[in-house]
């Protein structure tokens, strides 16, 4: 568990938020880890039309239990998209080329989504949705993000704090932090500083927040 503080500065785009997050770590951290991006599913028609112009493949995935899933799978099958039922689960996946004729499937039924972590620069055929990445790979992701929603986090050790557990930077692209999770918010780009709960309320943590020079918002519970 960690405590998050939003950096109250305007960020017009993902690149500026990324640059500010990196600068904060350079100025205030003794060390930082690799970036950990989390590309959220394609949930709107606008996002799908953008993905169609920009990427090549995607993965439909979802829960087999809801009644609305059956018609979607039937329609995907009719259009030549083969789906797999994962062993010992009620989950399905279907890898496919992104095609114009799939656009009329939106909005997708509740419990299903289209994922893009299998396509460059967000990953490849064997990648997982939350693989870490290099700094250069992250820059490529940000450069083609468009209206897609992504979060990025780093672990780091804030200088002069006795404990680095739960400390780091969290970025929200086209989303906002709300109640231990992010919510889609097109055009919103946020930078959050996190302190581990063991140090956030300690005298050292409060002194660090006061002396950091950052314009920080009210604390919120993070992960």
CB 186 within 8 A of CB 174: yes
Quote the pLDDT of residue 168. 97
CB 17 within 8 A of CB 171: yes
What mean pLDDT do residues 148-164 have?
95
6-175-68 Cα angle (round to 5): 145
Indicate if the pLDDT at residue 102 is higher than 70. Answer: yes
Quote the pLDDT of residue 178. 87
Measured distance CA(148)–CA(142) in Å, rounded: 10
Regarding predicted confidence, which is higher, 49 or 88? 49
Quote the pLDDT of residue 88. 58
Quote the pLDDT of residue 37. 94
Measured distance CA(85)–CA(66) in Å, rounded: 15
Q: Is the pTM of this model over 0.85?
A: yes
What mean pLDDT do residues 22-44 have?
95
122-154-15 Cα angle (round to 5): 55
Query: How confident is the model over 178-210, as pLDDT tens digits?
Result: 877 889 999 999 999 999 999 999 999 999 999
What mean pLDDT do residues 34-41 have?
94
Nearest to 109 by CA among 40, 145, 62, 59: 62
Indicate if the pLDDT at residue 85 is higher than 70. Answer: no
């Amino acid at each position: 568990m960690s405590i998050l503080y939003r950096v109250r500065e305007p960020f017009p785009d993902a690149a500026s938020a990324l640059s500010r997050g990196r600068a904060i770590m350079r100025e205030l951290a003794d060390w930082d880890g690799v970036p950990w991006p989390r590309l959220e599913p394609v949930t709107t028609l606008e996002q799908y039309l953008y993905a169609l112009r920009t990427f090549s493949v995607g993965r439909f995935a979802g829960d087999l239990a809801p009644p609305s899933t059956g018609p979607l799978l039937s329609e995907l099958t009719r259009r030549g998209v083969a789906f797999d039922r994962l062993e010992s689960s009620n989950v399905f996946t279907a890898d496919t080329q992104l095609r114009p004729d799939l656009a009329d499937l939106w909005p997708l039924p509740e419990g299903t989504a289209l994922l893009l972590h299998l396509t460059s620069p967000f990953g490849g055929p064997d990648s997982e949705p939350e693989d870490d990445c290099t700094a250069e790979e992250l820059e490529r992701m940000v450069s083609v993000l468009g209206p897609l929603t992504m979060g990025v986090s780093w672990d780091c050790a804030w200088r002069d704090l006795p404990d680095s557990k739960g400390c780091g930077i969290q970025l929200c692209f086209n989303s906002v932090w709300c109640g231990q999770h992010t919510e889609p918010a097109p055009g919103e780009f946020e930078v959050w500083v996190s302190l581990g709960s063991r140090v956030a309320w300690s005298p050292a943590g409060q002194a660090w927040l006061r002396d950091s020079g950052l314009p920080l918002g009210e604390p919120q519970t993070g992960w």
